[in-house]
């Protein structure tokens, strides 16, 4: 008797859905708490807390619906054999286009094109509702419907250009890999990740956002001075127009070897009350570089299959949260404890991030520690060496 692979996969998906829904319920219960955690009382205003609570609950309700529809569709697609049927139809479609359906690469590309089209169509209502109802209701969405669809069209075009060569390469590796298939695939994905990390910020990101050099002034001088003191090879310092799409704020760095760049969201500059808070956030990011967190995370094996992907993701989140505490401690050691503290509070307030979090939910899902835990770590007295 053949092993029921399909039934096992569907069963595992349902079990994981039930488990993750249980965690979602715990988090939803935490979000409904009417008071701030003790650590944040007097730090976060009641007005911001109420706004954060309403935003988080809105997203939570929407998440329950989205996940329920997703598990129904995915289970039905697998249980009723939609994918094998669609594989056959994609071969017929390739023939209609005058392509050789016997060619595995062409057949696969035809299949994936159909899957991508189906995914775009089925996810569109949820994406539109999230952007133009939930995000707009809470003051975050800044993009027009035209900009939304323009971005979507650009994304599709990029997939059409970039996707086929990658898919073709993977198929060739599978065909020729033999007993070393797993090693070849990992090596290919490793190299591909390096290429994409190099190409994306330089060629792809500018297609969606405008990157301009940070103007001369106090903020630029302070960031450059900090980078220089740490021997960080800063080549360019950009401001990105994140405000054209959302009022959420952030900052990040990218680049290899001696060609590093730092990017600040214009919303971050607008929201922080002084330059020192922004510099403290950058000090945290530079801590990741100085402590080699970026390299460790990059080398980690992330391309795994169900059920291993859930375990790997959980493990990587544990490591990531540890890295965040270390980067906070690094910024604190540089003398930015109070500025980092106020900067983190400001980011939490302006992004209306959840103030109350369930420990099980955050342990499973969060790559960054909750604000309460980060502030407690920053406020903890430094241990004196003997």
324 labelled as ligand-binding?
yes
Measure the CA angle with vertex 24, ends 21 and 28; round to 5°.
Answer: 140
368 labelled as ligand-binding?
no
Q: Which residues are the active-site residues?
A: 285, 328
Q: How would you classify the pairing of strands 211-213 and 234-240?
A: antiparallel
| Assigned token pair, 72 | 């129904």
| Assigned token pair, 344 | 């983190």
Rounded Cα gap, residues 360 and 363, in angstroms: 5
385 labelled as ligand-binding?
no
Return all residues near 24 (Cβ < 8 A) that are at least 6 apart: 60, 63, 64, 67, 361
Distances (CA, A) of 19 to 24, 75, 318: 9, 16, 19
| Assigned token pair, 117 | 């089209």
Sign, CA dihedral 79-80-81-82, equals negative
Q: How would you classify the pairing of strands 260-265 and 234-240?
A: parallel
Binding residues: 284, 288, 324
Q: Which residues are annotated as a binding site for Zn(2+)?
A: 284, 288, 324
């Amino acid at each position: 008797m053949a092993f029921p692979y399909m039934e096992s996969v569907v069963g595992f998906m349902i079990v994981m859905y039930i488990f993750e829904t249980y965690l979602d319920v715990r988090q939803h219960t935490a979000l409904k708490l009417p008071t701030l955690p003790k650590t944040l009382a007097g730090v976060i205003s009641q007005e911001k807390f109420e706004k954060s609570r309403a935003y988080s609950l809105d997203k939570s309700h929407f998440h329950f619906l989205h996940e329920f529809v997703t598990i129904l569709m995915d289970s039905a697609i697998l249980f009723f054999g939609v994918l094998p049927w669609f594989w056959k139809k994609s071969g017929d479609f390739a023939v209609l286009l005058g392509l050789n359906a016997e060619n595995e690469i062409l057949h696969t590309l035809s299949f994936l094109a159909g899957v991508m089209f189906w995914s775009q169509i089925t996810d569109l209502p949820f994406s539109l509702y999230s952007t133009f109802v939930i995000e707009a209701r809470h003051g975050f969405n800044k993009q027009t419907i035209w900009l939304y669809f323009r971005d979507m069209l650009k994304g599709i075009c990029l997939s059409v250009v970039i996707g086929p060569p990658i898919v073709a390469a993977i198929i060739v590796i599978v065909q020729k890999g033999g007993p070393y298939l797993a090693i070849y695939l990992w090596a290919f994905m490793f190299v591909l990740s390096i290429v994409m990390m190099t190409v994306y910020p330089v060629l792809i990101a500018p297609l969606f956002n405008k990157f301009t050099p940070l103007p001369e002034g106090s903020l630029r001088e302070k960031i450059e001075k900090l980078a220089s003191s740490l021997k960080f090879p800063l080549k360019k310092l950009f401001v990105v127009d994140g405000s054209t799409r959302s009022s959420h704020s952030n900052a990040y760095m990218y680049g290899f070897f001696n060609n590093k760049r730092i990017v600040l969201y214009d919303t971050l500059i607008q929201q922080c009350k002084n330059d020192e808070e922004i510099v403290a956030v950058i000090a945290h990011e530079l801590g990741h570089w100085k402590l080699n967190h970026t390299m460790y995370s990059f080398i980690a094996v992330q391309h795994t299959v169900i059920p291993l992907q859930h375990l790997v993701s959980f493990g990587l989140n544990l490591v990531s949260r540890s890295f965040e505490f270390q980067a906070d401690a690094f910024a604190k050691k540089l003398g930015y404890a109070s500025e980092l503290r106020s900067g983190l509070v400001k980011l939490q307030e302006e992004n209306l991030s959840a103030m109350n979090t369930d420990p099980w939910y955050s342990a499973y899902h969060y790559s960054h520690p909750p604000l309460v835990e980060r502030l407690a770590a920053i406020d903890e007295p430094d241990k004196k060496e003997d």
